[in-house]
Amino acid sequence: MKKATTLYENGNHRWQVIARDPERPSHLIDTNEYLITSNSVTMLTDPGGQEIFPAVFAALSEVADPRRVTHVFASHQDPDVISSLALWLALKPEIKCYTSWLWCTFIPHFGGSNDTFIPVPDDGMTIDFGGITMSIVPAHFLHSSGNHHLYDPQAKILFSGDVGAALLPPDQDSLFVTNFDQHVRHAKGFHQRWMGSRDARDAWCARAARLDIEMMCPQHGAIYRGKDVQRFIDWFAELEVGVLRSGS
Amino acid sequence: MSNAQAVTGSEQASFNRVAALNEAAKQLIARSHVVNLLALDARVQSKREGSSLRGFDEVSSQMQHWSRDLHSALERLAALSREVVVEVSTVSKEGHLLALLRRAANSSTSPLADETRFRLEALHHGRECTLLGLWRKVDETLGDLDLLGMMAVVLSRSAMIEASSGTAEQRAQLGHVAQEFYCNSEAVVTVLKAILNQMKRA
């Protein structure tokens, strides 16, 4: 079963990560789901694919009542990001989903209706989330053509979707990056193949460098803390992206 | 309405029941930890006081056993609720697929959609039976928990009686522990009653 770990807590404002399922079948990519709570509202970021719904539900239940989830945030349209939407809506039909306007007619193929989606414009938006202000920031073409990240200035946490993701070998399952140089070896191939645009990468690096970030939380792999955040931004800024190497 | 439709139509209710069970289990686990610690402390105290408090020692030991039994029953419940979520998720997905296959069969002259639908319906029916079986096991476990709740109240009353048999000092010390046993037992019974009522309504 996946496990929920608290990353940040200040009164009724919390960030928790749901990660690391030892029973996950190897044909499914590992994912991190983040549960953000502020007073009476609760948001799940990139809630995951339908195959892992039971594991996410069970881990979430350990730390919160899943009926209290009011929002989901989909950084983009991939199945590992949002194909569980129909199941979350079966639990609670009133759940609202923030996602790029680009995907508001595509994601309903997984589930949801006109009332479900809050379209996010290309420039992003700020949202009042249970008394705190969070920013949905653009990250287009990293990798999806309609892609956003979520920044919480109070917690100083950036949910960075696929940016910062690493495909870790089974024996390296630390929740946090402990050795940056070793870690990015597992991030390199992913970023070179999935991130196809140098301009988009440069824009993201410039934007991220301006934010005050203590934790950068990707959807796959380990979480970057402290100086490793800037190390990642610098590393990514220099990385050759859009590289096609035959994988199979 | 067929059983399959009834089960499929109650996905939200099933998820809600599981969520309610998990919430109740969290409260009960917290109570059982408190009782376990109280019982341990009470046993140390009564051991120190010697043979005059043998009865209280025995009741405290029973409270420890009770706390462990409650914990095991809750672990069974947690495992069952995980299984239920897996089944309800699959039933939900299959239900959606079946609805789409029915639409495909209605708008197609090929028998393929119907054949696929029949196959899936058979699987779906099996899944529905599994789910109903799981809910029965949940009901049984809740029945066990109900008995444990009643036992806790009896034990905590025995603790009060035993506590009143010592000296004035012992009565003061153990009366407090017995009262705590009672409060926690009552709280466990209240949580159990609420969850049992919720399950019956669902």
Strand A215-217 and strand A157-159: the pairing is parallel
The answer to whether residue B110 is domain-embedded is: no
Q: How far apart are CA A183 and CA A168, in angstroms?
A: 8
What's the pLDDT score for residue B96?
Answer: 82
- The model's pLDDT over B107-140, given as tens digits with 9 standing for 90+, comes to 777 777 788 888 889 989 999 899 999 999 999 9
The answer to whether residue B45 is domain-embedded is: yes
* pLDDT above 60 (res B149): yes
The answer to whether residue B117 is domain-embedded is: no
The answer to whether residue B4 is domain-embedded is: no
Specify the higher pLDDT residue, B159 or A164: A164
Following DSSP, what letter does each residue of A4-49 receive, concatenated?
Answer: EEEEEEETTEEEEEEE--TT--TTS----EEEEEETTEEEEES---
Residue of B nearest to A1 (CA): B82
What's the pLDDT score for residue B53?
Answer: 75
The domain of B143 spans 11-91+129-201
- How many Cα atoms occupy the beta-carbon half-sphere of A160 within 13 Å? 30
- The model's pLDDT over A45-72, given as tens digits with 9 standing for 90+, comes to 999 999 899 899 989 998 999 999 999 9
Name every chain B residue with its beta carbon within 8 A of the beta carbon of A87: 89, 92-93
Q: How far apart are CA B27 and CA B186, in angstroms?
A: 13
Lowest-confidence segment of A169-178, A223-232, B169-178 by average pLDDT: B169-178
Q: Does B92 contact A87 at a Cβ distance shorter than 8 Å?
A: yes
- The model's pLDDT over A139-166, given as tens digits with 9 standing for 90+, comes to 999 999 999 999 999 999 999 999 999 9
For A65, the closest of B19, B86, B93 (CB atoms) is B19
Residues of chain B whose beta carbon is less than 8 angstroms from a beta carbon of chain A are 11-12, 15-16, 18-19, 22-23, 26, 81-82, 85-86, 89, 92-93, 96
Is the bond leading into A143 cis (omega within 30 degrees of zero)?
A: yes
The answer to whether residue B102 is domain-embedded is: no
Lowest-confidence segment of A31-35, A127-131, B83-87 by average pLDDT: B83-87
The answer to whether residue B156 is domain-embedded is: yes
The answer to whether residue B112 is domain-embedded is: no
What's the pLDDT score for residue B2?
Answer: 39
Domain count for chain B, please give it.
Answer: 1
- The model's pLDDT over A67-98, given as tens digits with 9 standing for 90+, comes to 999 999 999 999 999 999 999 998 899 999 99
Residue of B nearest to A59 (CA): B82
The answer to whether residue B154 is domain-embedded is: yes
- The model's pLDDT over A4-27, given as tens digits with 9 standing for 90+, comes to 999 999 999 999 999 998 888 889
- The model's pLDDT over A232-245, given as tens digits with 9 standing for 90+, comes to 999 999 999 998 87
